[in-house]
Amino acid sequence: MSRYTELAERFGTPTYVYDLDQVAEARDELFSLLPEGFELFYALKANPHMDVAREMRGGDAGGCRAEISSTGELSIAIAAGFDPAECLYTGPGKTDGELDFAIAAGVRMFSVESLSDLRHVGAVAMRHNVVAKALLRINTVSGSAQTGIRMMGRPSQFGIDSETLPELMPVLTSVPGVRVAGAHFFTMSNAKDEASLLAEYEYVIEFAAQLQQEIGLPLEFLDIGGGFSSPYAVPGERAAYSKLRVELTQLLDLHLPRWRTGEIKLACESGRYLVGSSGVLLCGVVNIKESRGSKFVILDAGINVVGGLSGIGRLLPATIGVTGNDGSDVGSLVGPLCTPGDTLAKGAKIPTLSVGDVLEIPNVGAYGVTASPLGFLGRPAPTEVVVRGDEIISVSRLDYRRAYEPVEAYG
């Protein structure tokens, strides 16, 4: 019996299995792809499971720092042992309550998306008698080939329009309660080919250097973004970036030589590359039916459990792929929800299946549970089993509370 069959038998389905050995492997691999001394932020939104987050702190490279965007993510990061002072707090809609909580907890570094966001962080920091550090998230011109401070990019809730920076810089650097410490770029996600990733970094590094020289952008800290790719819900390997380390080093030496002395700290960030390949979803075949010549295999896991964001076009797959698929049959893999949208693979080559079979959907360690509409149709959350090789570390299920909690302010 395979390890997964055994886990499915013991804990039922649908069940996610995350292997910490694989988390550690991806973590160490990504550090090894980056020049020495780079910081790496783990974006908790990819998988906020506490045991997974905790694993990011390990390794010879000194471990990841946490990138968080809510009180919930910050609470998990703290419980997982991350130092709040080392976290990067991001997001376009930071509320007063969240900022209060974050600064009281010791968070000091914020990525800010606008002048008003920066002022908001500063005002809350002043209430706590501290000075927060801000990285200006910059909304650049899309397309890595162009440079030039005055060029226009696309409108976005993310980042400060780069062409407004020359005029804005003196205002940004004099906001009380907050010190501009550098810049944050996050311009691409899931870049499968190394050339486009490198072209983007070249653009970002050159642009940051230009901003520093020409308009006095403070640059103690430069987060050049991420974009490291990993397959989602289909078999495959993480993308390979064999030239990244060498070429990134050359780019930095050319444009920001002071990175060598540590005067400029460099960082990258990732979610999917770090955790995507560590997770497998085990799901069971509940029923099989034929309809007008087509076969429908009905699973106990649907978009409530996996790939939920693909429904709103944010994530890739319209089709999941199962491990060991020999393509011996043709049919649709569908979930149990009462919506035709709950289709995981439509009219695809699938294995020959019977009721009770367990399927393995690989590469779902990122954007699985956290990115799926768990509450839709009221099924229980999937079980999450964390293993390290053959050893079981924890077994849990998210309590998303189907019961309604009264709101105190009412009545």
Ligand X SMILES: *Cc1c(COP(=O)(O)O)cnc(C)c1O
3-state secondary structure of 351: coil
Closest contact distance (angstroms) between CB of 223 and ligand X is 8
Position among 35, 272, 303, 361 found at the interface with ligand X (CB under 6 A) = 272
Classify the C-alpha dihedral 320-326-332-337 as positive or negative. Answer: negative
Q: What's the token pair of residue 332? A: 């649709």
DSSP3 helix / strand / coil % (the chain, rounded to 5)? 30, 25, 45
Distance CA 40, CA 63 (A): 8
Lookup: tokens for 360: 């393995």
Residue whose entry in the numeric block shows the structure tokens 């900022």: 99
Count of residues that interact with ligand X, criterion CB under 6 A: 16
* Among 13, 90, 363, 383, contact with ligand X (rule: CB under 6 A): 90
Selected range binding ligand X among 78-86, 128-136, 186-194, 241-249, rule: CB under 6 A: 186-194
- Beta-sheet strands, E only, within 46-100: 65-68, 88-89
Residue spans of beta strands (DSSP E) within 39-124: 39-43, 65-68, 88-89, 109-112
Nearer to ligand X, 48 or 226 (CB): 226
Answer yes or no whether residue 256 interacts with ligand X by CB under 6 A: no
Residue nearest ligand X by beta-carbon distance: 271
Asked if 226 interacts with ligand X (CB under 6 A), we say yes
Q: Tell me which residues in 57-76 interact with ligand X (CB under 6 A).
A: 67
CB of 208 to ligand X, least distance (A): 16
Give 407's contacts (C-beta < 8 A, 6+ positions apart). Answer: none
Q: Which token pair is 48?
A: 């906020």
Q: Which is nearer to ligand X, 269 or 342 (CB)?
A: 269
Q: Cα(140)–Cα(150) distance, rounded to whole angstroms?
A: 10
Instruction: Supply the minimum distance, in Å, between the C-beta of residue 190 and ligand X.
Output: 5
1, 368 in Cβ contact below 8 A?
no
Q: Which of 337, 366 has the CB closer to ligand X?
A: 366
Positions 38 through 57 that interact with ligand X (CB under 6 A): 43, 45-46
How many Cβ atoms are within 10 Å of 50's Cβ, its own excluded? 16
Q: Which of residues 286-305 bind ligand X (CB under 6 A)?
A: none
Site string for ligand X, 347-366 (x = CB under 6 A): -------------------x
Smallest gap from residue 281 Cβ to ligand X (A) = 18
Shortest Å distance, C-beta 197 to ligand X: 12
CB distance 271 to 368 below 8 Å:
no
- Check residue 186 for interaction with ligand X (CB under 6 A): yes
C-alpha dihedral sign at 210, 215, 217, 218: positive
Q: Which of 171-179, 196-204, 264-272, 292-300 is the region at the interface with ligand X (rule: CB under 6 A)? A: 264-272
User: Is-contact 189 226, C-beta < 8 A?
Assistant: yes
Q: Which is nearer to ligand X, 11 or 38 (CB)?
A: 38
* Nearest residue (CB) to ligand X, 226 versus 307: 226
* Segment interacting with ligand X, rule: CB under 6 A, options 11-19, 209-217, 265-273, 284-292: 265-273
Do 254 and 264 touch, CB atoms closer than 8 A? no
In the complex, minimum distance from the CB of residue 111 to ligand X, in angstroms, rounded to a whole number = 7
* Residues engaged in binding ligand X (CB under 6 A): 43, 45-46, 67, 90, 186, 189-190, 226, 228, 269-273, 366
